[in-house]
Amino acid sequence: MLPGVEGPSDLRALDPEQLRRLADEVRVHLVESVSRTGGHLGPNLGVVELTIALHRVFDSPHDTVVFDTGHQSYVHKLLTGRQDLSTLRTRGGVAGYPSRAESEHDVVENSHASTSLSWADGIARARTLTGEGDRCTVAVVGDGALTGGMAWEALNNIAAAQDRPLVIVVNDNERSYAPTIGGLAHHLSTLRATRGYERFLDWGKQALQRVGTPGRLAYDTLHGMKKGLKDIVAPQGMFEDLGLKYLGPVDGHDLEALERAMTIAKDFGGPVIVHALTTKGHGYAPALADVADQFHAVGVIDPVTGQPVAAGGAPKRASWTSVFADEVLAVARERDDLVGVTAAMLIPVGLHKMAEAMPERVVDVGIAEQHATTSAAGMAFAGLHPVVALYATFLNRAFDQVLLDVALHRAGVTFVLDRAGITGPDGPSHHGVWDMALLQHVPGLRLAAPRDGTRLREELREAVGVDDAPTVVRFPKGAAPEDVPALERLGGTGSWGAPDVLARTGEAPDGSSSTGSARDVLVVAVGGLAGLGLDVARRLEPHGVGATVVDPRWVLPVHPALVAACAEHRLVVVVEDGLRTGGVGSRLRDELADAGVRVDVRCVGVPVRFVDHAERAEVLEELGMTGQDVVRDVLGRVAALDEERERAGARSGTTGG
């Protein structure tokens, strides 16, 4: 059945039995494809019937369909002409989220949660103003995304426009990444709405109010009784109080029931919620058996067993996340005031071990980074030290709270940012490249970027030791590299936040010059790019250019010893896994200017643009962030400095003569 579906219109010609066969084929195709490439498997297995019904009832792209988060859009891609998923999340291949470049059926590319309702509100409002009121707008949102405050800001506006055709399909699988947290999970309800029901209520209201004051009182009493009785049977009050019509709950794997509900919602002509109950990983036993996240996201797996396919070569190293998970638990056992805070990402950010050992001291606020941050400020005021663990890309959403709720109040809150820097296959909205540039502007904030697992443990402990300012520890995705020991610590071991010297080339053991001078180039290697910094130094040595490689450890504040080291070199090269504009290198250049240090500073980092999905190594190569690229640039700059020195010497000789 699947090869015959080239677009949504082809679905409308299929009978119920053909549709069931199609759903089965879609699941088989998803498992076979995603098991080879990795990706978001569980969420897509759960929305097969829902997506089929969606495209049978609504006429995309005439009707606009917006997917919240977007990781559940693989089925949508299959039904809109993109059935070859063999290149999923690979360089130049099919994106793991909706992509306007791929299809006119894709609208919102941003994969951050809780935004779809605002998009839908804006689109529906514009359709009305431009005279296209016959075009329906559909937002597909998960119950997890409804824990985000932005979703409720949108609902407040959507409910106020009763004449706009806007349908909200709630994909309720009781999970975001893991089980959905919070009071919302207890309020998704069974109130049903039809136009006939509404007309009956309107008729009753008009008839009673014609009687005058007694009639109005009677209507108010009867309406209150109705609402009270419904609240006893099913606690649906908040949707009704907002003025939103509600259909459901509907079995999210029953195509006929889904189509019926969506058709009623489309015909209603105003804002309606269709509440669909689905099961993440539906139809695939290994996913259903995965208690942690039902195969929310997988790597390469055996499609039959669901087990990861072991990679050959060296034994697998511990991930950055697992190192943090172990260390934060160890610190929590030593300090009763330490609490963990997560925004619906308990396992991905490594707070699960602490939650298992001391559940009362780990708070999951749902998909609500802003709330998590300000709540942490409150906890700090009351005597605790919160550790707020997020993906680096999601900290963007809480910048105002970091600035004015935490930093302004000098709150001792530690932010741990996982997946910092270039993350790879998830693409533009998931690369964690914005954090260091954003946080440069927060007064008093201290920012650490560990180079290996040992430094992560060390810098985490330093961070939670600060109780009068926000601290940040950020690290990349994947396996932590082998430890890189330091030759020495600049400024002495007792100096807080002092940088480490990792290597010196071009200098003999007695300090004499061998091939160039270690004072030619200072390579400031930030965090996980320490390996790149060392590679640059090694590559420079055969060219007669010496280098000193320094890990700043704490990039904020800039340590005086780092400023002094820069002053001793002819060229400073900063390599950072973040934006080069306004990033660590830019800040260091400003600090050097303030100190009166005149030295050329070369910033190697991510340009200010959205970076497509690909493997991390491929992205770094594309951005010119490899040892070969950096060395080529450095040699050119050193040659220019040599020429300038020769010209200056010549001018000096002429003047002297």
Catalytic residues: 280, 369, 397
CB 419 within 8 A of CB 430: yes
For residue 138 the two structure tokens come to 């559909």
- How far apart are the C-alpha atoms of 354 and 571, rounded to whole Å? 45
For residue 271 the two structure tokens come to 């804002």
CB 424 within 8 A of CB 503: no
Strands (DSSP E) contained in 450-570 are: 471-474, 488-489, 500-505, 521-525, 547-551, 554-556
Q: At which residue do the structure tokens 């050329």 appear? A: 600
Beta carbons within 8 Å of 190's beta carbon, 6+ residues apart: 233, 234, 236, 246, 248, 249
Beta carbons within 8 Å of 163's beta carbon, 6+ residues apart: 128, 133, 269, 270
- How far apart are the C-alpha atoms of 192 and 199, rounded to whole Å? 14
Classify residue 187 by burial, with Cβ atoms within 10 Å: 0-12, 13-18, 19+: middle
- How far apart are the C-alpha atoms of 342 and 462, rounded to whole Å? 21
Rg (CA), the chain: 29
Of 323, 622, 331, 345, which is closest to residue 451 (Cα–Cα)? 323
Instruction: Write down the H helix ranges in 382-491.
Output: 392-395, 399-401, 435-439, 453-464
- How far apart are the C-alpha atoms of 327 and 458, rounded to whole Å? 9
Strands (DSSP E) contained in 406-467 are: 414-418, 446-448
